[in-house]
Amino acid sequence: MEKLEVEKIISQMTLEEKARSVVGVGLPGLFGNPHSRVQGAAGETHPIPRLGIPSAVLSDGPAGLRINPTREGDEKTYHATAFPIETMLASTWNREVLEEVGRAIGEEVREYGVDILLAPAMNIHRNPLCGRNFEYYSEDPLLTGEMAASFVRGVQSQGVGACLKHFAANNQETNRMIIDTIVSERALREIYLKGFEIAVKKSKPWAIMSAYNKLNGKYCSQNQWLLTKVLREEWGFEGFVMTDWYAGDDPVEQMNAGNDLIMPGKAYQINPKRKDEVEEIVNAVKDGRLNEEVLNRNVKNVLRVLLNSPSFKGYEYTNKPDLEGHAKIAYRAGVEGAVLLKNDNALPIREDARIAIFGVGQIETVKGGTGSGDTHPRYVISILEGLKEKNLKIDEELAKVYEDYIREMRGKEEYKIRRTFFGTPIVPKLPEDFLSIESLEEVASRNDVGVIVISRISGEGYDRKPDKGDFYLSDDEYRLIEKVSQAFRARGKKVIVLLNIGGPIEVVSWRSLVDGILVVWQAGQEAGRIIADLLIGKVNPSGKLPTTFPKNYLDIPSWNFPGEPKDNPRKVVYDEGIYVGYRYYDTFNVEPAYEFGFGLSYTTFDYRDLKIVKTENSVKISFTIVNSGKFPGKEVAQVYVRAPKGAIDKPLQELKGFHKTRLLNPGESENVEVEIDLRELSSFNCGRWLLEKGEYEVRAGASSRDIRLTGIFTIDKEEKYYP
């Protein structure tokens, strides 16, 4: 019925109307374009009233719906919930959490009149400095794909669409619109495409966004191999492909490659050299550069999806999503995503302990990154507010010193918070080492524990730096930690660092100065509440790292990031191939500060009774996890597989399955079952997937370097699978 309906509509369209159906209306609210009916939405498709086709509204993003919270001449507000950043969501390793967050965001999308959410973002953490890593899940494609699939299922259960992005190999911000990513087909298929493949197959997303960059010489949005051969023919994708905003340089090639929709439209508004896409498509059909059948196909792909959207169904949205309920979901996701890196009897803190909090981030807590992944919630609970709300014994005098300091400094020209043209906040870092030794001594003597907040922010359009103040602590941050450490430890008191960050920083040079380190990521609007409950042990941390914390920036495998020539890169060669993240550190014996999959708990877990059963097409692995400590908690069990030495070069091990337990009370246990399709053990070699014969080792454990159970199964016969 739908198919017929779409075909009927297309048969009634003029050429001009067809061209308009595959191009957006221009960036809403800017360059003289009218605002979208949902102000702050990123884009809108063309309506064709003559045929009863309304426009559809597309809006970011991964940590929650990004729309303007207020509208001119309108008293009402349109806040959306700020959820934890994707890296924190991935740190939960909990598919149910991702689905629940997806459902909540999906409801906000629908009730605010949006049709498609421009998320999840799912590029791989190739290098810790990619400015948008906070918007991405992990260095590992399986974890990425599984998290994305659950999120998409949640979003789409609400009758709106999700859009996977940025397809593919968009792993840096430096020159992102022109950079040429040179990468082997093996690394592409095993690392950079794999997560997308999992999400496409498991969750049937309505849309996918082609990336800005070139892939092996061709813009992703103009890359037929990527968008048609791999995505549609091999994986069976049934949604539509849209460009990233202003991506590529040739609308006709985009149409031919299988990029169905060009967004946001009117590229000439930002670059006078660019053509009007609608005109260009019409001309190309007329002069034979574009076959009208190809255009019809693209129109069909777009319309088939949009027919099911709320706008097309005339859904009457309320502008009243359940923000109260969603705040609770944001909280639940956050408490599962914090990662405890170090704990020398420092945590949890007793509820009656007197707590001194240091660091500007206790007040200016960073809720998420900047750019299209930003959100506009009703409020953000800072760390200080979160602790106060719990009636914990905060050193009020010290808190006041920080409040006054921040107010005074932000009044100075050089530290004023500014905004870019697109509204992105620029927040100059305030010096952290401003307390005298005497006052620190006093604070240490009147409190039981010291907590220091270290914050970072990054965002769209620029990469982080391998320098002090970013990947490394700034000198003043280091001095603050050192001085607080001296004052508190001299009195037998503990010091805890909270890392309010969007991606790894260096920790080795300072971690011995403190007794506890908790990565609280950028936890969204509920940040302070989440952190307070973790600190006092109301909730036991159960997050694990989805990305390695290297000891030193120079240890990372993607040494040539962000490409060459260094001052203005045009090309980036992925020399490291498949050796990304732990695949590199494990195989080449480079010891990280904290490995992939690592995370402590206030309790301990035992792993028992590994069983491996091989069937014709899969291997079934089961084992038991017991809470062997004194605190209720959840464990993330990981299953890695080590392949035999054969013809293909293999990493030491690869993640092939994982499971997060329910909350286990002390002494309680849960049986874990993980099934691995044998195809997932193959490697891409000479144009096909090859499963080599030999002995495979199953390695189940609490992190990639804390393997608790091992066992063997054998593949007797080599298999080849063609894509």
CB of residue 42 vs ligand BGC: minimum separation in angstroms? Answer: 4
From residue 147 to residue 176, the character string flagging contacts with ligand BGC as x (rule: CB under 6 A) and all else as - is ------------------x-----------
| Catalytic residue check, 244 | yes
Of 183 and 263, the one with the shorter C-beta distance to ligand BGC is: 263
Give the count of beta carbons closer than 10 Å to the beta carbon of residue 33: 17
Of 196 and 684, the one with the shorter C-beta distance to ligand BGC is: 196
CB of residue 165 vs ligand BGC: minimum separation in angstroms? Answer: 5
Show contacts with ligand BGC in window 36-65 (CB under 6 A).
42, 60
Of 24 and 154, the one with the shorter C-beta distance to ligand BGC is: 24
Binds ligand BGC (CB under 6 A): choice among 65, 118, 284, 715:
118
Of 424 and 685, the one with the shorter C-beta distance to ligand BGC is: 424
Of 44 and 60, the one with the shorter C-beta distance to ligand BGC is: 60
Strand partners, 654: 641
For 425, the enclosing helix (H) or strand (E) is: strand 425-426
Show contacts with ligand BGC in window 346-375 (CB under 6 A).
372
CB of residue 164 vs ligand BGC: minimum separation in angstroms? Answer: 11
Name the catalytic one among 244, 395, 448, 470.
244
CB of residue 40 vs ligand BGC: minimum separation in angstroms? Answer: 10
CB of residue 200 vs ligand BGC: minimum separation in angstroms? Answer: 18
* CB neighbour list of residue 557: distance below 8 Å, 6 or more residues apart: 576, 579, 580, 584
How many residues make contact with ligand BGC (CB under 6 A)?
7
Nearest residue to ligand BGC, scored by beta-carbon proximity: 42
Is 244 among the residues that bind ligand BGC (CB under 6 A)? Answer: yes
Provide DSSP, 280-318: HHHHHHHTTSS-HHHHHHHHHHHHHHHTTSHHHHT----
Of 119 and 335, the one with the shorter C-beta distance to ligand BGC is: 119
- Long-range pairs for 10-16 at CB < 8 Å and ≥24 separation? 10/296, 10/299, 10/300, 10/303, 12/51, 13/48, 13/51, 13/299, 15/282, 15/285, 15/286, 15/292, 16/278, 16/282
Helix (H/G/I), strand (E/B), else coil: 641: strand
Determine the distance from the C-alpha atom of residue 371 to the mean position of all C-alpha atoms in its chain, rounded to a whole number. Answer: 14
CB of residue 76 vs ligand BGC: minimum separation in angstroms? Answer: 23
Cα–Cα distance for residue pair 648/589, rounded to 1 Å: 19
Residue 127 near residue 557, CB atoms below 8 Å: no
Binds ligand BGC (CB under 6 A): choice among 245, 549, 561, 574:
245
Is 80 among the residues that bind ligand BGC (CB under 6 A)? Answer: no
CB of residue 425 vs ligand BGC: minimum separation in angstroms? Answer: 16
Token output for 509: 């040079």
CB of residue 74 vs ligand BGC: minimum separation in angstroms? Answer: 22
Query: Which sign does the torsion angle of CA 386, 391, 392, 396 carry?
Result: positive
Show contacts with ligand BGC in window 247-266 (CB under 6 A).
none
Of 200 and 355, the one with the shorter C-beta distance to ligand BGC is: 200
Of 374 and 670, the one with the shorter C-beta distance to ligand BGC is: 374
Cα–Cα distance for residue pair 665/661, rounded to 1 Å: 11
* CB neighbour list of residue 283: distance below 8 Å, 6 or more residues apart: none
Cα–Cα distance for residue pair 339/347, rounded to 1 Å: 13
Residue 196 near residue 209, CB atoms below 8 Å: no
Query: Which sign does the torsion angle of CA 93, 97, 103, 106 carry?
Result: negative
Cα–Cα distance for residue pair 152/135, rounded to 1 Å: 15
Work out the end-to-end distance of the chain between its first and last CA atoms, rounded to an integer number of angstroms.
31
- Site residues, ligand BGC (CB under 6 A): 42, 60, 118, 165, 244-245, 372
Residues marked active site are found at 244
